[in-house]
Amino acid sequence: MNDIFSLLSKHRSAMMGFAILWIMVFHLPSHHEIHVLSQLIYWGYGGVDIFLFLSGFGLYFSLSKKDISLSKYYKKRFSRILPEFWLYLIILYISTMDFSQRSLFTLIYKATTIGFWIPGTPFELWYISCILLFYAIFPFYYKSFNKSGISTAIKAIAIGGIMILIYAMIMVLCFNNENKGGGLILAISRIPIFFIGSIFGYYAKKKANIIINYTRIIFLSIIFCISLLPLYFSYKYCSAYLWTCALHWIPFIIITPILCIMLAFLFEKCHFLESIFNKIGMISLELYIMHTFVYFQTDIKNIAGGEYSTPILLLTSFIFAYILYYINIKFLQKLI
């Protein structure tokens, strides 16, 4: 069946595989001179929006199950992330060979994710801090959603939009367009897309049937291209200005759902491609953690210089990700 919501549900893992690869390439050094390709890589931070959209989509499904309890929900969600996250932090902590009181407090800030939410304090892997908060508040949102319907979701999206505008005004008017919020900018700007994902999850659960065909794909492609225009002009003329006030990500509120629909349609038509990205999506969390470790915490990018740096960094990230995935399956999950 080629309806939009079924395809999104069916190919969710493959889309996560696409998103993590987009993010990884965005971080990696680029040595090509093709402008269009360079532009697409620069927009790779949009992979995070795909993750949050699909997370909102999946969380609605998760809480809709009849046998799910609040304790099971939290255990499943947090146990998927925290063991690997804490192992990563412990390795970093030991590698510094600094066991002072200050270093210990830094570890606590990072491990509890408190550091991310307090500007000026240390944190690691900002996306994990962000998604854990969304996981924590989602059951309360879901309960309100079931009680009041779509109006609750619209209110949540509106609140997110208002928070972005307030943040932007504070940064511009009070701090002369300097980002004084630290990592908060990355989370606040993604609130709307997360709750938009939950709306799609709601319609998928209700088995809403909007058939996707080539005509609709062409129509969505036109809207998609139009939505890229403000993204392009912001990049060309005022990228730094919009980035510091959280407005740089707003076009992805439109781009992300359309892009996910187009990807789902592509994966439905190309099974070989879907199979590859699905396997990558299954270890997307491990790839995010180990790619960050390889690129930001080691000297591999300096050792692997020149034109070979990108494939070497990607290969190393995949190897470490599979090792972490194996450790998680064989050891970490058995401790929970």
Sort 14 into a burial class: Cβ within 10 Å, 0-12 / 13-18 / 19+.
buried
pLDDT at residue 99 greater than cutoff 70: yes
Q: What's the pLDDT at 34?
A: 57
Q: What's the pLDDT at 303?
A: 64
Residues 132, 139, 81: CA angle, nearest 5 degrees? 25
Q: What's the pLDDT at 226?
A: 87
Map out the domains of the chain as residue ranges: 4-335
d(CA 265, CA 259) in angstroms, rounded, equals 10
d(CA 38, CA 20) in angstroms, rounded, equals 17
Q: What is the mean pLDDT of residues 5-13?
A: 94
Residues 239, 259, 41: CA angle, nearest 5 degrees? 45
In the predicted model, what is the mean pLDDT of the chain? 89
Q: What's the pLDDT at 179?
A: 86
- The first and second tokens of residue 246, run together, are 């959280």
Q: How confident is the model at residue 31 (pLDDT cuts 50, 70, 90)?
A: low
- The first and second tokens of residue 306, run together, are 């020149």
- Measure Cα distances from 58 to 209, 247, 270, 300, 301 in Å: 18, 26, 23, 35, 35
pLDDT at residue 197 greater than cutoff 80: yes
- 3-class secondary-structure state, position 211: strand
Q: What's the pLDDT at 224?
A: 85
Q: What's the pLDDT at 301?
A: 66
pLDDT at residue 1 greater than cutoff 70: no
Q: In the 8-state DSSP scheme, what is residue 3? A: B
Q: What's the pLDDT at 30?
A: 61
Nearest to 81, CA basis, from 124, 42, 122 = 124
pLDDT at residue 116 greater than cutoff 70: yes
Q: What's the pLDDT at 32?
A: 57
pTM of the model: 0.93
Q: What's the pLDDT at 306?
A: 57
Q: What's the pLDDT at 253?
A: 92
Q: What is the mean pLDDT of residues 176-199?
A: 92
Q: What is the mean pLDDT of residues 61-74?
A: 88
Q: Write out pLDDT tens, residues 124-169.
A: 999 999 999 999 999 999 999 988 888 999 999 999 999 999 999 9
Q: What's the pLDDT at 271?
A: 94
pLDDT at residue 189 greater than cutoff 80: yes
Q: Write out pLDDT tens, residues 76-85.
A: 999 999 999 9
Q: How confident is the model at residue 308 (pLDDT cuts 50, 70, 90)?
A: low
Q: How far from chain centre, in Å, is Cα 108?
A: 24
Q: Contact 294/316 with Cβ under 8 angstroms?
A: yes
Q: Which residues have CB under 8 Å from 65's CB, separation 6+? A: none
Q: Write out pLDDT tens, residues 231-252.
A: 888 777 887 788 888 888 889 9
Q: Write out pLDDT tens, residues 253-300.
A: 999 999 999 999 999 999 999 999 999 999 999 999 999 998 888 777
